[in-house]
Structure 1
Amino acid sequence: MKKYRLLCWCLCLFMAASAQETFPVNGVHDYRTNYFAFTHATVVKDSKTTIPNATLIIKEGKIISIENGGAVPKDAAVIDCKGKYIYPSFIDLYSDYGVAPQEQPQRSGFSQQMVSNTKGAYGWNQAIRPETDASKLFKVNDDKAKDLRSMGFGTVVSHVQDGIARGTGTLVTLSDDKENMDMLKDKAAAFYSFNKGSSTQDYPTSLMGAIALLRQTYLDAQWYKNLTPVQKEKSTSEGTNLSLEAWNNNQSLPQIFDAADKWNVLRAQKIANEFGVPYILRGGGNEYQRMDEMKATKASFILPLNFPDAIDVEDPNAVRLVALSVMKHWEMAPLEPGMFDKAGLNFTLTASGTTSKEFLQNLRKAIDNGLSTTKALDALTKTPATLIGVYDKIGSLDAGKLANFIIATGPIFEDSTVFLQNWIQGKKFIIDDAGWNDYRGNYKLTVKQPNQTKEYTVEVGGKPGKISATLKASGDTAKTDIKINILNNSVNLSWSNKTDSSKVNHLTGIISGNTWVGTGYAANGEPLTWNMLYNSAYIAKADTAKKDTAKKQDINKTVYYPFNGYGFAEMPKQEDILIKNATVWTNESAGILPNTDVLIKGGKIAAIGKNISASGTKQIDATGKYLSPGIIDEHSHIAITGGVNECSQSVTSEVRVADVIDPEDIQIYRQLSDGVTSAHLLHGSCNTIGGQTQLIKMRWGKDAEDLKFADWDPFIKFALGENVKRTFVNNNNRFPDTRMGVEQVLVDAFTRAEDYQKMDANKRRDLELDALSEILHHKRFITCHSYVQSEINMLLHVADSFNFTVNTFTHILEGYKMADKMKAHGAYASTFSDWWAYKAEVQDAIPYNIALMTDVGLTVAVNSDDPEQARHLNQEAAKSIKYGGLSEEQAFKTCTLNPATMLHIADRVGSIKVGKDADVVLWNANPLSVYATVEKTWVDGIEYFDRGRDSIMRTRIAAERNRLIQKMLTAKKGGAKTTPAVLTPDVINECEEDRRVSSGIQ
């Protein structure tokens, strides 16, 4: 007996020791643990395993066992879950629950903030904050937790949603315990975006700048990681950098990137591929528009369910400004999760951007539109848990895991199902207590008075937590609505007595099983008794009909490339084509050839001549028409998203237009309709040394990578003059303020580049100096915004001093004064036809500029610098015939072969010659005529524009807009939430800025 007592005493000591608390308790310590048995439930352990009539045992916040008809431990509190379903609680990897954004130092005045004003040994840029640790900021938020629990969530990864590098997120449950009890993992993932957030620092001001900063930070962190302690101590440029240290420490965590848009997904994935980082990509809900590209990423995704509201389209004057793509996205957004499911992509779902009501509604809408219930459950449980390495703790209902589960009235993805409770770490949180008992069904109600007995049939329907009922007296056909109030087992029934001759209208009683009994009084005061007996189950006829109607709604599931009215349902294919009897403007020594055939094979010009025959090829009769090479715009700012200027610094050679191409810019299609086949996309003219440029082909419908002109010599944008010294900016504190300062910026930049090249192999790689070094090695070429003779002369001098060549002076309105020096230097000129006097530094511009420079022997191009002007560069070129007497062929070369020459692609485009790319245009008249209209435009032998097809597209656009307008009107009448019709803008980029204009109806 003594041994037994000693054993019990030791066991009690062990149990007390194993449950030690670091927090003091005000009162008597209680070491008893929560111990529950949930019986007779349908338990869905995971998407593949369902256990009927199960007993779920939990203790100390963890799952002990789940068995079919399992035994109930005698010490466990029993909860009968007959008719209920139990599922794992959901997990959200993208949340800001309990983490308020940090207050940032405020910017003073209007002057530029060059460096971070964050105090401490941190990095130079305020938008890079990898040191942010959400676990140190986390605070339980009861109201927010309640909302998330009502959606079914039990665990979230919460992070500070601010900045490009956002630091680490913390994994927490949605219990209401002390923060340290709710926190499962202090650092669960690292977070990134392209959005600088609340940073008051100027750099970056553009999307291309944000990407460059992210890329440079990866390189800096690698360099910093490889420094020895001695090197860090001796480093005069870096010292201790807590930001880079945190960045490197965070790399071992799951990496989550908030892309929030289909094109940003691909931009982020490009960074991921460059640095070998497996990003988990949070989408924006429009990724379904590019499913092939999404599949090619092979990434995991976090998909939002914040589907857009219908647009209020009752005002035709307002709705005409809404683009078709916006309307179509409203219709198609619910298809995205199902399309990801069908494509076999790995993804989770997030509640971010939705309310508690919207989330479940939209989740079920996604299931109605193709998302399987199996994948839906995985996306909310197993997949997120696996992605952050905690599937051993959460994500399914298995022994040893946290007791995080939902109790519902039925399968959770059905519309009629009500979430009743959400247990988190073994603690009950009530969502809808009224719905625990399902009183729905068909009943017989008997009311007994002293002189009569009245019988009724009663139908109790609705949802378990929000029931409704109707009553019909025996022999009557009319139904009366009943008000039902149930509290615990007490019930009150009331209804209007207008349709009931007995004047009975209020009953009270209790509910016991399937029997309702009680007493009451008739309208005349006589006492009565009543009982209501269950007859049969309730069938949700109305709900089923409503859901079936919703499922049958017509959805045009066609995805257009690009996703607007002028997109292709199927991309046009490359064809072998024989163009017969055209007047061919070759731009070669053969000149202009009348009645000539051109054969296109495999995207190349295969033959030029008369009476060519080629069996099996598509033939086009071009009698009376003109065939020319495609127009090439040497200076364009179309198809650039997120800002055309990175204005924050004088030298931003690290930024790349290639990172921010917008393949859906309608300007591509519009310019194809006027014969443009290639465009040189330039950074703006805000900086002395701007960003790296990108040459594209107008492959309308392709993605950004496919638009790029392959194997092309890289270029960079420089600028001189008023834009650079920021004459138009008040309180400017960015160097330089004068034209003299511009020269010093150039000299300083190339001096630093020379020094950089002399550094040892362990140097910090600097993307800004890499680009400048490429110029010094004649591997990157300059196109320079320029106007004034003195500054042109200055840049030639700087170039000669550092032994590089300025490839192209663009604008160059005083080029006629400098033509001889430019020719001697080896430069080209790209200019306007007759723009002048629009600002002070162009007062000396003349329309004879092109002819005068041509006469000296310069290769001269006419460029647009404007999306509308690009549509009639042929006419701009023709002006040089009037102003200067150029021949037709000379004039036309200024928008075709000459820009090809200055862009180093004349061996491939710019003329019609055997072996060159089939970038050609068919006109109905002389290409230099103001009456000339493009009928067809081919790029690489692919017909990207056809005027006849354009007419069909316009008819299709009108019909599709009308269909969607009618559908939105119907949705509004049906009670759907709507949003006002607002302008869908085109962003028109210019050298100095971007502006927004009406979209039209594309």
Structure 2
Amino acid sequence: MNLITRFRLQVGAIVLLVLLNFSTVMAQSDPTGERRVTGTYAIKNATITTSPGKTVENATILIKDGLILAVGANVTIPKEAQIIEADSLYIYPGFIDGASNAGVSKPTDPDRPSNFNPSNPPDELAGITPWRSVLDYYDGNNSQVSEWRKVGFTIAQILPEGGMLPGKAAIVTLGDASSTNVLAQQTAMSAKFRGMGRGMYPGTQLGVIAKFRDLYKNATYSSEHGRLFASNAGLQRPEINKTYEAFYPVLDKNIPIIFEVSNDLEIRRALSLQKENGFNIVLTGVNEADAVIDEIKAANAKVLLSIKLPDDKVTKSKVEDKSEEVQARTKRVIEAYELALKQAAILEEAGIPFAFGSMGGRSADLHKNIKIMIENGLSETAALSALTTNPANILGIQKFAGSLEKGKLANMVIMSDPIFSEDAQIKHVVADGYIFTYDISKKKKGGDEEATVAIEGSWEYVSDTPAGSSGGIMDIKKDGDLYTGTISYDDPAGGGKASSEMKDINISGNYLTFSFDVSAGGMSIDVSVSGDILGDEFSGNMSLADFGTFPLNATKKPKRN
């Protein structure tokens, strides 16, 4: 089944969810960031962590026009400064996302030519478009951007969508959408072990590897030919090939190749290509590093660990009454799950500085998953480094980001409590000189915020995707302190509607999350949804496995008398 068919089968499986009403009264909440720090401000009497492991109590941070002028316990505050009292608040450097596709759309596939040859397709049809810039497909107004900013990210390296070589990455601030927000362009060449399928070369991982080798070799020849032609007479003029030319910054080691990997085999294959050709490499989406630690070190590879953790359904399974074979298989699955939770700790112990990449993850899971990693051996200092200084170093932006120091960008996260404590909530995010303010709600004993809205009832939703609009009904009931529910959707197999159980329904303040499974073409597709609620209106995001994130809207149906 080709990618487009699979995608269209699944988009019928969408779900309701939650409204991002970021236009409420600013005195109460200002997630729109409409207030910009354009003068001189002093944030006073806070506990400021300037970089991982370095914290100053009762400190002041002085900023002007989005830059830090001073930070410390004995800062002289000028008369013109507006003072912001921050007693009992905790300030950290703004988080940096090493690999994001928030706000990035996938380019439309070109039409096949009449003389199409599947064994030798045009580069663009084969997913080979290294000349493309992700900025041509980036929308800072996309709700995904605000979702990641809400959990503390202020800078992100965004990667293009597409096939094996989809294009060049860029680094942006997650500030006001009216600004360009661009910090750096052409920062890395994106690569994947994924062909375009549809019966054309390269359609397999081995085909992708062979094609990559061929392109890299030809790009090297093209570059050498161009240099010789420029400095010698009597040589044939080189042909212009935009695919080969897109490799030149990689050949010159001005930018790395950022390989998206999903397991240890793909890590080995990426490192083998790096060893063979000598380019600088960044691995993103890493979740199985334990078996290839030595290879990563030998390649001096940079690592972006996935923030996505596996589901723990199996660890909760009761297998005592099952056969020995089932018990042994379940034990192996549990061991693999527990090992996955320790990947960050393993990298720290091995002395490999790593950062986080959000691709494939959910913003609602960020803080929860990092706390799980800490519970499984990762130190808090290393966790904060992975959010701040490490990604700054990996992306080469450490001169102006990653820590709170004089002369650096005033990107910061201001929290109610120490960052990894149970009660920690984000009150403000400062990005590119804009202050984004969020409501802080009282938390329950279990750690989740008390619900400020009623979600029980029937909700009618509509979701828009590249394949069209689809909708259904979500019914939610409350059972003690828990919620249960079902969601209906257009059956991918045709014949009307299908339904699925809603899992892990959680309402925190006015923020709702849940997930459900859809069966499509013999596959089980995980769909997750999240967003904010205002009254009887919902708007937010739904994520479909590897197929992207899309907006949706819903309205609560009136109760019948």
Q: Could you tell me the TM-score, scaled by structure 2's length?
A: 0.67
- Within 5 Å, give how 1:667-682 maps onto structure 2: none
2:174·2:432 contact (CA, 8 Å) conserved in 1? no
2:175·2:433 contact (CA, 8 Å) conserved in 1? no
3-state DSSP of counterpart to 2:374: helix
2:37·2:434 contact (CA, 8 Å) conserved in 1? no
Give the alignment partner of residue 226 of structure 1, picking from 211, 224, 227: 224
Deviation at 1:375, TM superposition (A): 1.0
3-state DSSP of counterpart to 1:434: coil
Q: Which amino acid aligns with 1:224?
A: S
Give the alignment partner of residue 373 of structure 2, picking from 366, 387, 393: 366
- Give the corresponding residue for 1:94: 99
3-state DSSP of counterpart to 2:187: strand
Would the alpha carbon gap of residues 462 and 263 (structure 1) be closer, same or farther in structure 2, given more than 3 Å must change? closer
RMSD of Structure 2 on Structure 1 (CA): 3.8
- Give the corresponding residue for 1:329: 336
Q: Which amino acid aligns with 2:221?
A: W
Work out the CA distance in 2 between the residues paired with 1:200 and 1:271: 25
Asked whether 1:129 is paired with 2:135, we answer no
Q: Which amino acid aligns with 1:96?
A: N
- Give the corresponding residue for 1:162: 162
Would the alpha carbon gap of residues 53 and 981 (structure 1) be closer, same or farther in structure 2, given more than 3 Å must change? same
Would the alpha carbon gap of residues 214 and 321 (structure 1) be closer, same or farther in structure 2, given more than 3 Å must change? farther
Deviation at 1:138, TM superposition (A): 2.5
Asked whether 1:410 is paired with 2:417, we answer yes
2:192·2:261 contact (CA, 8 Å) conserved in 1? yes
- Give the corresponding residue for 1:260: 262
2:287·2:343 contact (CA, 8 Å) conserved in 1? yes
Deviations 1:163-186 (A, max 9, x none): 222321110011123242x11112
- Give the corresponding residue for 1:210: 208
1:151·1:359 contact (CA, 8 Å) conserved in 2? yes
Give the alignment partner of residue 307 of structure 1, picking from 300, 303, 309: 309
Deviations 1:942-978 (A, max 9, x none): xxxxxxxxxxxxxxxxxxxxxxxxxxxxx99x99989
1:155·1:171 contact (CA, 8 Å) conserved in 2? yes
Q: Higher relative contact order at CA 8 Å, sep ≥6: structure 1 or structure 2?
A: 2
- Give the corresponding residue for 2:247: 247
Would the alpha carbon gap of residues 294 and 413 (structure 1) be closer, same or farther in structure 2, given more than 3 Å must change? same
Asked whether 1:177 is paired with 2:177, we answer yes
3-state DSSP of counterpart to 2:169: strand
Work out the CA distance in 2 between the residues paired with 1:225 and 1:323: 53
Would the alpha carbon gap of residues 205 and 325 (structure 1) be closer, same or farther in structure 2, given more than 3 Å must change? farther
Work out the CA distance in 2 between the residues paired with 1:178 and 1:141: 9
- Within 5 Å, give how 1:54-73 maps onto structure 2: 54-73=59-78
Work out the CA distance in 2 between the residues paired with 1:64 and 1:105: 50
3-state DSSP of counterpart to 1:376: helix
Deviation at 1:380, TM superposition (A): 1.1
Deviation at 1:321, TM superposition (A): 12
Deviations 1:425-449 (A, max 9, x none): 2211123x235xxx89xxxxxxxxx
Work out the CA distance in 1 between the residues paired with 2:68 and 2:242: 41
Would the alpha carbon gap of residues 330 and 427 (structure 1) be closer, same or farther in structure 2, given more than 3 Å must change? same
- Give the corresponding residue for 1:47: 52
Work out the CA distance in 1 between the residues paired with 2:228 and 2:344: 52
- Give the corresponding residue for 2:440: 434
3-state DSSP of counterpart to 1:86: strand
Structure 1 portions without partners, runs of 5+: 1-30, 118-122, 441-459, 469-482, 485-970, 985-1002
Would the alpha carbon gap of residues 422 and 342 (structure 1) be closer, same or farther in structure 2, given more than 3 Å must change? same
State which structure, 1 or 2, has the greater radius of gyration over its C-alpha atoms: 1
Deviations 1:495-548 (A, max 9, x none): xxxxxxxxxxxxxxxxxxxxxxxxxxxxxxxxxxxxxxxxxxxxxxxxxxxxxx
Work out the CA distance in 1 between the residues paired with 2:329 and 2:174: 40
- Give the corresponding residue for 1:193: 192
Work out the CA distance in 2 between the residues paired with 1:100 and 1:978: 23
Would the alpha carbon gap of residues 462 and 200 (structure 1) be closer, same or farther in structure 2, given more than 3 Å must change? closer
Would the alpha carbon gap of residues 363 and 132 (structure 1) be closer, same or farther in structure 2, given more than 3 Å must change? same
Q: Which amino acid aligns with 2:167?
A: G
Q: Which amino acid aligns with 2:422?
A: D
Give the alignment partner of residue 381 of structure 1, picking from 385, 388, 405: 388
- Within 5 Å, give how 1:472-871 maps onto structure 2: none
1:89·1:395 contact (CA, 8 Å) conserved in 2? yes
3-state DSSP of counterpart to 1:310: coil
Deviation at 1:149, TM superposition (A): 1.2
Asked whether 1:354 is paired with 2:361, we answer yes
Give the alignment partner of residue 423 of structure 1, picking from 411, 419, 430: 430
3-state DSSP of counterpart to 2:286: coil
Deviation at 1:142, TM superposition (A): 4.1
Deviations 1:657-704 (A, max 9, x none): xxxxxxxxxxxxxxxxxxxxxxxxxxxxxxxxxxxxxxxxxxxxxxxx
1:310·1:977 contact (CA, 8 Å) conserved in 2? no
Deviation at 1:297, TM superposition (A): 4.1
2:285·2:357 contact (CA, 8 Å) conserved in 1? no
- Give the corresponding residue for 1:732: none
1:125·1:201 contact (CA, 8 Å) conserved in 2? no
Deviation at 1:215, TM superposition (A): 1.1
**The structure with more strand, counted as a fraction of residues:** 2
3-state DSSP of counterpart to 1:249: helix
- Give the corresponding residue for 2:81: 76
3-state DSSP of counterpart to 1:353: coil
Q: Which amino acid aligns with 1:183?
A: V
3-state DSSP of counterpart to 2:217: helix
1:193·1:259 contact (CA, 8 Å) conserved in 2? yes
**The structure with more helix, counted as a fraction of residues:** 1
Q: Could you tell me the TM-score, scaled by structure 1's length?
A: 0.39
Work out the CA distance in 2 between the residues paired with 1:319 and 1:266: 31
Asked whether 1:143 is paired with 2:143, we answer yes
Structure 2 portions without partners, runs of 5+: 1-35, 454-502, 508-512, 524-561
Deviation at 1:310, TM superposition (A): 2.2
2:141·2:177 contact (CA, 8 Å) conserved in 1? no
3-state DSSP of counterpart to 2:215: helix
Work out the CA distance in 1 between the residues paired with 2:514 and 2:138: 34
Asked whether 1:390 is paired with 2:380, we answer no
Would the alpha carbon gap of residues 159 and 54 (structure 1) be closer, same or farther in structure 2, given more than 3 Å must change? same
Q: When the two structures are aligned, how many residues end up with a matched partner?
A: 422
Q: Which amino acid aligns with 2:274?
A: A
Deviation at 1:292, TM superposition (A): 4.5
Work out the CA distance in 1 between the residues paired with 2:354 and 2:44: 33
Deviation at 1:213, TM superposition (A): 1.0
Work out the CA distance in 1 between the residues paired with 2:85 and 2:266: 50
